[in-house]
Amino acid sequence: MNNFVFHTPTKILFGKGQVESLGKEVAPIAKKVLLAYGSGSVKKIGLYDKTVSILKENGIEFVELSGIEPNPKLESVVEGVKLCRENKLQAIVAIGGGSVIDCSKAISAAIGYDGNPWDLLLDGSLITSAIPIFTVLTLSATGTEMNGNAVISNMQTNEKKALKSPLVKPVCSVLDPEYTCTVSPWQIASGTADIISHIFEVYFSLVEGAKVTDGISETLLKVCIEYGEKAYNNPDDYEARANLMWASSLAINGLTAAGKGGEPWSCHAMEHQLSAYYDITHGAGLATVTPSWFRFILSDKTVGKFVSYGVNVWGIDPSLDPFEIANKAIEKTEEFFFDVLKLPRTLKDYGIDETHLADMAEKAAMEGLDKAIIPLTAEDVLKIYKDCLE
């Protein structure tokens, strides 16, 4: 068990109608905020109107930044920084999914930085201040509502990078599962794959003895499997939405990494190249990459972790041969991603061919994958990409 630092200062208001408390949280901290959101979906579900009326009731002025796109782009960050500076905004209220929140975090950190905000994604130590962030989450996936990470895309350089700073952890996040009830089955499926991948990236670390952490990870994986399917098939299942939502926050707030190390993350590095080059949905890309990564890393050294996964998460008979358990566990994972959640199985399903794979593999490996839980070279990544092709 490794040493670790665990710090989740974000106050979570979880459940039906909790947005009503948002004004009480924002008002003591800011009188003038950026209201950030994406497409019109927050208007369709009534969250936009609700937030506007709460801000008004609490005497909080706001300036809007709308149209933040999935896989948020550097351009939106630049625009948000401009609005905050021009209007001397004191905080950001982000309503939406991970993209809106990630974009808001990058804006928050870039306000006090004079250069190009992209610099902050290349070197997190440049972040020395950030304005407070409040979020109302509408999609269970990235866990950004409770951590200090944000992923931003730079389409000019075909790069997708993660910003990391404790300064951008939201002050308060409202998690009302009812706001996720209009999320499409496709988004539920890719969100669930994203949550599962956050857990996998650390769970398969070879650090031994972190039993609390491993047990929590297995619990969250079982919740994702049970409730991912339920939410996918029945959008009105509150219990399913609620458990998925809470699992998504806990899967990447430090709890599943406590004592295990695990960074840098392999599947995320590989997927970031996929969505940087082809703008595909992050969670879906992770689902496509994961089984090939599993098969690549399965060895005498890792088989014990696959046995724990297979037995404790999938209930596979522990008396079987360890490699048989491991392979069954990988098959179960594939069935879940591709048959239950109906996510695309191969890169060909996205129309992706070999064209950029070698370049992407180089870039993915450069994300520090020589220090991943199972170190990967560019050549290894290329093999994994090719294994996903069809």
Chain positions contacting its own copies, by CB under 8 A:
1-18, 209-213, 215-216, 218-220, 222-223, 226-227, 238-239, 242-243, 246-247, 250, 258-259
Give 4 or 321: the residue with its C-beta nearer to its own copies.
Answer: 4
Tokens of 225: 């499997």
CA atoms in the 13 A half-sphere facing the CB of 18 = 19
CB of 4 to its own copies, least distance (A): 5
CB of 195 to its own copies, least distance (A): 11
- Residue-by-residue DSSP string for 17-71: TGGGGHHHHHTTT-SEEEEE--STHHHHTTHHHHHHHHHHHTT-EEEEE--PPSS
CB of 201 to its own copies, least distance (A): 19
Give 24 or 56: the residue with its C-beta nearer to its own copies.
Answer: 24
Helix (H) or strand (E) holding 153, with range, is strand 149-154
Give 114 or 236: the residue with its C-beta nearer to its own copies.
Answer: 236
* Nearest alpha-carbon partner for 135 in 172, 103, 84: 172
CB of 336 to its own copies, least distance (A): 17
Give 9 or 40: the residue with its C-beta nearer to its own copies.
Answer: 9
Give 165 or 273: the residue with its C-beta nearer to its own copies.
Answer: 165
CB 51 within 8 A of CB 136: yes
CB 319 within 8 A of CB 299: no
CB of 3 to its own copies, least distance (A): 3
Give 206 or 212: the residue with its C-beta nearer to its own copies.
Answer: 212
Q: How far is CA 239 from CA 15, 225, 233, 246, in A?
A: 11, 14, 13, 11
CB of 23 to its own copies, least distance (A): 16
3 state SS of 285? helix
Tokens of 335: 């069935």
d(CA 77, CA 68): 9
d(CA 327, CA 315): 14
CB of 233 to its own copies, least distance (A): 17
Give 13 or 45: the residue with its C-beta nearer to its own copies.
Answer: 13
CB of 263 to its own copies, least distance (A): 16
CB of 168 to its own copies, least distance (A): 16
Give 124 or 254: the residue with its C-beta nearer to its own copies.
Answer: 254
> Per-residue b/e over 154-175, b at no fewer than 16 CB within 10 Å?
beeeebbbbbbbebbbbbbbbb
d(CA 61, CA 81): 17
Q: Is 296 exposed, middle or buried (0-12, 13-18, 19+ CB in 10 A)?
A: middle
Phi, psi of 91 (to 5 degrees): -160, 170
d(CA 161, CA 323): 35
The answer to whether the bond into 264 is cis (omega within 30° of 0) is yes
Q: Which amino acid is at 80?
A: G
Q: Which amino acid is at 303?
A: V
- State how far Cα 76 lies from the chain centre: 19
CB of 15 to its own copies, least distance (A): 3
